[in-house]
Amino acid sequence: MATQINLQRNSEVFYSTVDLHGGAAATSMTAANTWKVEILAGFAFSQASATQDITTLESGTTPDRSTQRFNTAVNPVEWNFQTYLRPTGIQSTTRGAAGQYTGNSKPLCDWFLWQALVSNLSPASGTTQEQSVWEAGGVLRTVNHTKSGNAHASRSNFPTATQNQLYFKLDNVFYQVKNATVNEAAVDAAIDGIAMTTWSGMGMKLVQLTSDVSSPAAHARDRAVLVFGGILANGTTVSGNSQANVGHNKVATTASALGKNVMVYASWKNHFVNGTQTEASFIKNRLSGIDMQYETNTYSFPVTAMSFNYNNAITYLTPEELATLNVPIGQFTGSKAITGSVSAYLRAGSTSDKNASARWLAGVIADSRTSLASGSSANLIVGGNTAPYVSFDMPAVQFNFPTDVIEDVIGVTGEFLAQEKVKGTGDELVIKVQKG
């Protein structure tokens, strides 16, 4: 294959439970365990090293004043990218419903990333069946719950995050983040844009997939090309094998046709809903709003800015042995932090006026209690009350003191932290998705 440059605009990302670098065959990849992630410009991934500098300095006319540097450890891989928040319409959990033969609810294009973020259950079981914890109606709950129908059991209070494989196809150079974890999701709902999520996480090892020209199909890079598309080591061009998402590894109109396609990945934007292929929707932030409850008062006012953040606080353990290059040996989650912020114009009003942001500010500031969570909640509705939208409902939140923002139009801004309503249950958050 001739030497060539590689362009960011041609880059693609894939998330899978199949480890090609570990020896898995390309035929192990199906639309039930491998998904495309359509990203925006500005993505990044890297694996740095920890170093130690040793210096010497002595007296005399010819002193030794040298510096030596040693690599002492390989740090965990760090990665991040942005995606649009796009509802798919796959919200039923009834097996046999047209276009949803496994009965899995997958209401967002990046449903598998959200599951890896909030659940202890991987979105697929190795190289076999996908296993969604999303529930009927496009609902994802962080509360610990058992299996119900085709929604798998899940809990958000887990000691270690699920580990899967992240593939970066940089035009014709392939990288794999081995045992990648999803650490954080930040949703930006600036009113002049399209709803998007900034994803970030880590991994154990970054490897470049390579192939042997003499036996291309037996090596990791060519196995990736056979699925994701590109140029094989022998110069043959291969197209990527995308399949519209129907809840299994086969585009089909009958359940009996499922399970036959391999070396494919699930499409990002194309989905079969009620037997018809449709395209995932975009969400317009201009229609977003927020519903908040503070004690007996309910507020529902338009916003000028809004954000949501979910962080698992994952840390990696790395030994510190001498005379060796240490590598990470595992990861643990910390205390999860679910936070948000809202900005709006400062509006006065009567006690029955839900748009009165000034009353909300005054009430929180005047409260002398150290904790307000037992009587406060927040529901961020990205896209507004008419589908398509995604809502982040937090039944118990602690508000910081809101503050006035002095600009041409006076505003108010506030931040909050979601908390468990019932201690130990992990019930901080309910995500609901509607395509319309």
- CATH number, domain containing residue 413: 2.40.30
User: Containing domain of residue 187, as a range?
Assistant: 8-45+77-279
Q: 67 in a domain, yes or no?
A: no
CB neighbourhood size of 147 (10 A) = 12
Same domain, 238 and 304: no
Domain boundary among 247, 279, 311: 279
Residue found under tokens 């540097």: 69
Query: Per the structure, how many domains does the chain have?
Result: 2
- Residue 181: half-sphere exposure toward Cβ, Cα within 13 Å: 25
Same domain, 258 and 301: no
Amino acid occupying residue 282: F
Please say if the pLDDT value at position 141 is more than 70. yes
Give the pairing type, strands 196-203 and 44-46: unpaired
Of 435, 423, 429, 12, the residue nearest 187 (C-alpha): 429
Domain boundary among 279, 304, 323: 279
Q: 1 in a domain, yes or no?
A: no
Same domain, 374 and 402: yes
> Percentage of the chain surpassing pLDDT 90?
51
The stretches of 175-316 forming alpha helices (DSSP H) are 220-228
Q: 168 in a domain, yes or no?
A: yes
Same domain, 275 and 292: no
Same domain, 249 and 345: no
What is the pLDDT at residue 218? 59
Q: What is the DSSP letter of 280?
A: P
Q: 54 in a domain, yes or no?
A: no
Q: 3 in a domain, yes or no?
A: no
Same domain, 161 and 221: yes
Please say if the pLDDT value at position 7 is more than 90. no
Q: What is the DSSP letter of 143?
A: S
CB neighbourhood size of 51 (10 A) = 10
Q: 267 in a domain, yes or no?
A: yes
Least confident of 66-70, 92-96, 318-322: 92-96
User: What predicted TM-score, i.e. pTM, was given to this entire model?
Assistant: 0.90
Mean pLDDT of 44-56: 94
Same domain, 217 and 253: yes
403: β partners: 413
Domain boundary among 218, 248, 279: 279
Q: 210 in a domain, yes or no?
A: yes
Residue found under tokens 């005047």: 366
Q: What's the rounded Cα separation, in Å, for the pair 70 and 76?
A: 18
What is the pLDDT at residue 205? 96
Using only C-alpha atoms, what is the Rg of the chain?
Answer: 25
Same domain, 224 and 338: no
Same domain, 180 and 303: no
Same domain, 291 and 207: no
Cis peptide before 388 (omega within 30 of 0): yes
Q: Please say whether the beta carbons of 266 and 243 come within 8 A.
A: yes
Q: Classify residue 237 as exposed, middle or buried by CB count within 10 Å of its CB (0-12, 13-18, 19+).
A: exposed
Same domain, 336 and 269: no
Amino acid occupying residue 200: S
Q: 58 in a domain, yes or no?
A: no
Same domain, 261 and 301: no
Q: Could you report the per-residue pLDDT of 93-115, keeping only the tens digit for each?
A: 775 444 454 668 899 999 999 99
